Amino acid sequence: MTYYFEDFKVGDAWEFGAWSLTREELIAFAREYDPQPIHTDDAAAGRTAFGGVIASGWQTTLKCIRLFVDGLMRETAGLASPGLDELRWLKPVRPGARITARATVTEVGESTSRPDRGRVHFLISGVDESGEPVMTAKGLFFVARRPRRG
Amino acid sequence: MTYYFEDFKVGDAWEFGAWSLTREELIAFAREYDPQPIHTDDAAAGRTAFGGVIASGWQTTLKCIRLFVDGLMRETAGLASPGLDELRWLKPVRPGARITARATVTEVGESTSRPDRGRVHFLISGVDESGEPVMTAKGLFFVARRPRRG
């Protein structure tokens, strides 16, 4: 099954399952990509209002993106994404927190220049166990139109 | 040396050095975080207009963010970032491409609610060897004011 542009409608929604991080995974990611003490140094982080290390917002984002790719984009005739808008890290994510990845279609549209594709806009989010978003982002993807049979 | 809010002025600019990716590093990252064929499958990617695997935009972003953190944020009294805006992947990044990370201060402002900090807005970019941006993003960081002595 491959999803094409015509298959996406405003309001379509998915829940992709959940992820969580151990303290070690959280620190290892931050050491490689975002080495700030709030993410890498338990003692220094313990002296802040957060009371201990919190996940890099980039790791939170990528864990949700991975589930979005696995759960939807790998079966979609996606052509490219020019980027994301309004990436927001709304709540600290601590080791052991269970975060559910979701996506909703917020807008679909014709391509202004390419008749073979359309635009699909998603709101991608990670939601904690109290139901509050820890991360949201608005993603735009170009998706191929369904090939004509004939 | 620690940089505080008062140290940032509109127009301040940094060049943080360059990064590049081997084909293996590019594919390994994508397998973990963004497993789409254009990033993970040389044969499938070779049949697209790109002619071969290109880096996940997330990897391009994180490689630049790492240099931004190392070159600036680790010496800055940064308090938190609520997120990023207008993350754009402008050109494909192929194995071996040499990308230079840069940042410019585009806006500074008082915090509307917290007198201990200010807002610093950065344009963060990755630029290829022809001088063209492959990635840009607008980042907002809250930075502590310089502590008063006396």
Is there a domain that residue A111 lies in?
A: yes
Mean pLDDT confidence for B141-150: 86
Per-residue model confidence (pLDDT) at position A150: 55
Q: Does A31 touch chain B (CB under 8 A)?
A: no
Distance from the Cα of A128 to chain B's closest Cα (Å) equals 17
Distance from the Cα of B10 to chain A's closest Cα (Å) equals 22
Q: Is A35 left (phi over 0), alpha (psi -120 to 50) or beta?
A: beta
Residue (of B74, B101, B37, B3) closest to A40 by Cα position: B74
Distance CA A90, CA A35 (A): 20
Q: Which stretches of chain A are assigned E, i.e. beta strand?
A: 13-19, 78-89, 99-110, 117-127, 133-144
Q: Does A2 touch chain B (CB under 8 A)?
A: no
Torsion angle of C-alpha atoms B125, B129, B132, B136, degrees rounded to 10? -20
Is there a domain that residue B149 lies in?
A: no
Q: Are strands A133-144 and B99-110 parallel, antiparallel or unpaired?
A: unpaired
Give chain A positions within 8 Å (CB) of B81: 57, 89
The set of residues, in sequence order, having a beta carbon less than 8 Å from that of B57 and lying 6+ positions away, is A81, A83, B34, B87, B89, B135
pTM of the model: 0.92
Give chain A positions within 8 Å (CB) of B35: 66, 69-70, 74
Mean pLDDT confidence for B62-88: 92
Per-residue model confidence (pLDDT) at position B150: 56
Distance CA B143, CA B2 (A): 11
Q: Which residue has the tokens 């052509």?
A: A79
Q: Which residue has the higher pLDDT, A60 or B149?
A: A60
Is there a domain that residue A104 lies in?
A: yes
Is there a domain that residue A150 lies in?
A: no
Give chain B positions within 8 Å (CB) of A55: none
Task: Give the domain range for residue B32.
Answer: 5-144
Is there a domain that residue A130 lies in?
A: yes
Per-residue model confidence (pLDDT) at position B80: 79
Do A38 and A54 touch, CB atoms closer than 8 A? yes
Is there a domain that residue B123 lies in?
A: yes
**pLDDT at A133 > cutoff 70:** yes
Question: Longest Cα pair distance anywhere in chain A, in angstroms?
Answer: 67
Mean pLDDT confidence for B31-38: 92
- In percent, the amount of chain A with pLDDT more than 70 equals 99
Question: Which pair of tokens denotes residue A119?
Answer: 């635009």
Is there a domain that residue A23 lies in?
A: yes
Q: Does A18 touch chain B (CB under 8 A)?
A: no
Residue (of A5, A8, A13) closest to A123 by Cα position: A13
Q: Does A65 touch chain B (CB under 8 A)?
A: yes
Per-residue model confidence (pLDDT) at position A140: 94
Q: Which residue has the higher pLDDT, A116 or B78?
A: A116
Is there a domain that residue A149 lies in?
A: no
**pLDDT at B146 > cutoff 60:** yes
Kindly report the CATH number assigned to the domain that includes residue B116: 3.10.129.10
The least confident of A36-45, A97-106, B90-99 is A36-45
Most B CBs within 10 Å, among A29, A33, A41, A142, to test the B interface: A33
Element holding A57 (H helix, E strand): helix A57-71
- Give the pLDDT confidence of A42-89 residue by residue, as tens digits: 999 999 888 999 999 999 999 999 999 999 998 998 887 899 999 999
- Give the pLDDT confidence of B121-134 residue by residue, as tens digits: 999 999 999 999 99
For the question of an ipTM over 0.95, the answer is: no
How many folded domains does chain A comprise? Answer: 1
